[in-house]
Structure 1
Amino acid sequence: MSKIPVTVLTGFLGAGKTTLVNHILTADHGHRIAIIENEFGEIPIDDALVLRSDEQFFELSNGCCICCTARTDLVETLRKLVERKEKIDRVLIETTGLADPNPVAQTFYVDDEIGEHFALDAIVTLVDAKHIDRHLDEAGPDGVGHQAVDQIAFADRLVLNKVDLVDEAGVAALRERLRGINATAEIITSSYSRVDLDDILGVGAFNRIVHPAWLDEQEHFHDPAVTSVGVELAEDFDEASLRAWLAELTAEHGDDLYRLKGVVAVRGDARRHVLQGIHRIFELRAADPWGRDARGSKVVFIGRNLDHEMLTEGLRACTRPVPAEVS
């Protein structure tokens, strides 16, 4: 990649994020990594828990989450990285356990200068296998677990950590519950946050064709707080109609629309088009030719209060051309 890939590491309190950062710092991977850590609270402590190495380390510790006012600090830190003489291979951003990953991800789309030098690679969420059920059960309007649900819903990779503390049946049940919140993210398991770094770094989730298995028909035990809707259409889209509908959808329902992913066929174009979206931001870009793959469109929506019928019919209407205006 010509741009520096960025991995956003998130996960609810106690999931094992700092342990994973230490694993990355001590692993023999050969990458020059800049670690940006956000800490919530008046007294920084995570800094003392992170092992030092040759990697560049930056701490955002001003008593608030990176998804709030510290987002400005994140932009400034990224700009400083560009100005440094020492070149880096990638950036890892560790958020607090209470952070919403959405504003962090949006930074790489709404700031032109940042987007010129950095590319969002993937959102990786750690999940505490021992305690996540309790957090998810508290995910109602008055509960604290909604952050855990949001972090899982946004993820491109889910690391189900501390599986050594749960039996096989418990791990299987957790997988099903996570699938109910996020039907598209790959789930890997770990103990003590030890994972194959190839599974979380260089994922290319925001720069690749979506996997067709996203829309495999499976029975999921959906968490009532967040659901996913998959739509598959054989007809080609009218690009103007699709862009207009997406603009209207994200403007009206952006708060509840966490992620939007898909690969679509555009009328009159031999190339596949990749669709990516975060709340009110979406991108539709041409990719590689269809080749021998069956031409067709697959789109996945992840969010709250999703209307399956509305989304399906809205996409279906985009297969028809926009009627010409009568002068």
Structure 2
Amino acid sequence: MTETAPAIKPIPVTVLTGYLGAGKTTLLNRILSDNHGKKYAVIVNEFGEIGIDNDLIVESDEEIYEMNNGCVCCTVRGDLIRVVEGLMRRPGRFDGIIVETTGLADPVPVAQTFFMDDDVRAKTELDAVVTLVDAKHLPLRLKDSREAEDQIAFADVVLLNKTDLVTPEELAKIEATVRAINPSARIHRTERSNIDLT
């Protein structure tokens, strides 16, 4: 009887999107600093925009920052596939990869990246597109931006954030609006992007 090596499970990838001010940076700060017991690789557009406390950084190598909770943060300077391949070559295994998009970005091209490259596709799987929504400002965002609606429409999970800034009646209307745009998305109500990371 021959034993085959167990198949290595692909690393789940989450694409994190949301309009400017929705709470992405707050959520990323929690991922990179909380002791949640997970080892995430976080890919951002600009590390300086996150404002991570330097005391949390254990090691810095070019565009990759290792945090004291075991997570890694790196910046994209052009080619997302190159960044992901670089992360895969690092020692140890990540529990997940989180890719932040800019506020106006369409998450579709970012998500498609994980299907285009054979090597990346073999080692990762797109787990979810998570959209953060600012409950207080969503009605205005939907009026002035097609991107806000597209981000909700493409989401697997919607974090309805800043729920403490609206009345229960407003929140019910906002949740109904999100549900009308995307009936199948899981919706979580949050304050200050506070959601269980385990």
**Do these two structures clear the TM 0.5 threshold for a shared fold by scoring above it?**
yes
In the alignment, what sits opposite 2:89?
83
Identity of aligned residues (%): 46
Equivalent in 124, 129, 136 of residue 142 of structure 2 = 136
Does residue 121 (structure 1) correspond to residue 127 (structure 2)? The answer is yes
In the alignment, what sits opposite 2:74?
58
Does residue 12 (structure 1) correspond to residue 15 (structure 2)? The answer is no
* Runs of 4+ residues deviating >3 angstroms: none
Q: Deviations over 1:280-320 (max 9, x none)?
A: xxxxxxxxxxxxxxxxxxxxxxxxxxxxxxxxxxxxxxxxx
Deviation at 1:137, TM superposition (A): 1.2
Corresponding residue SS for 1:106? helix
Deviation at 1:104, TM superposition (A): 0.8
1:1-327 matches, cutoff 5 A? 2-39=9-46, 45-47=48-50, 49-51=51-53, 52=56, 53-54=67-68, 55-61=71-77, 70=78, 73-138=79-144, 145-198=145-198
Instruction: Work out the CA distance in 1 between the residues paired with 2:74 and 2:162.
Output: 27
Contact in 2 for aligned 1:5/1:91 (Cα 8 Å): yes
Instruction: Work out the CA distance in 1 between the residues paired with 2:195 and 2:93.
Output: 26
Structure 1 gap segments, 5+ residues each: 62-69, 139-144, 199-327
Structure 2 gap segments, 5+ residues each: 1-7, 57-66
* Letter of the structure 1 residue corresponding to residue 182 of structure 2: N
**Which range moved further: 87-96 or 112-121?**
87-96
Instruction: Work out the CA distance in 1 between the residues paired with 2:48 and 2:134.
Output: 21
Quick one: higher RCO (CA 8 Å, sep 6+), 1 or 2? 2
Deviation at 1:181, TM superposition (A): 0.7
In the alignment, what sits opposite 1:258?
none
Q: Deviations over 1:187-211 (max 9, x none)?
A: 111111101225xxxxxxxxxxxxx
* Letter of the structure 1 residue corresponding to residue 75 of structure 2: E
Instruction: Work out the CA distance in 1 between the residues paired with 2:167 and 2:141.
Output: 19
CA RMSD, 1 decimal: 1.5
Corresponding residue SS for 2:86? helix
Tell me the matched-pair count.
177
Instruction: Work out the CA distance in 2 between the residues paired with 1:169 and 1:38.
Output: 36
Corresponding residue SS for 1:77? helix
Deviation at 1:131, TM superposition (A): 0.6
Contact in 1 for aligned 2:32/2:72 (Cα 8 Å): no
Instruction: Work out the CA distance in 1 between the residues paired with 2:185 and 2:196.
Output: 16
Deviation at 1:107, TM superposition (A): 1.0
Instruction: Work out the CA distance in 2 between the residues paired with 1:112 and 1:45.
Output: 31
Instruction: Work out the CA distance in 2 between the residues paired with 1:113 and 1:190.
Output: 36
Deviation at 1:28, TM superposition (A): 2.9
TM-score, normalised by the number of residues in structure 2: 0.84
Contact in 1 for aligned 2:32/2:73 (Cα 8 Å): no
TM-score, normalised by the number of residues in structure 1: 0.52
Corresponding residue SS for 2:14? strand
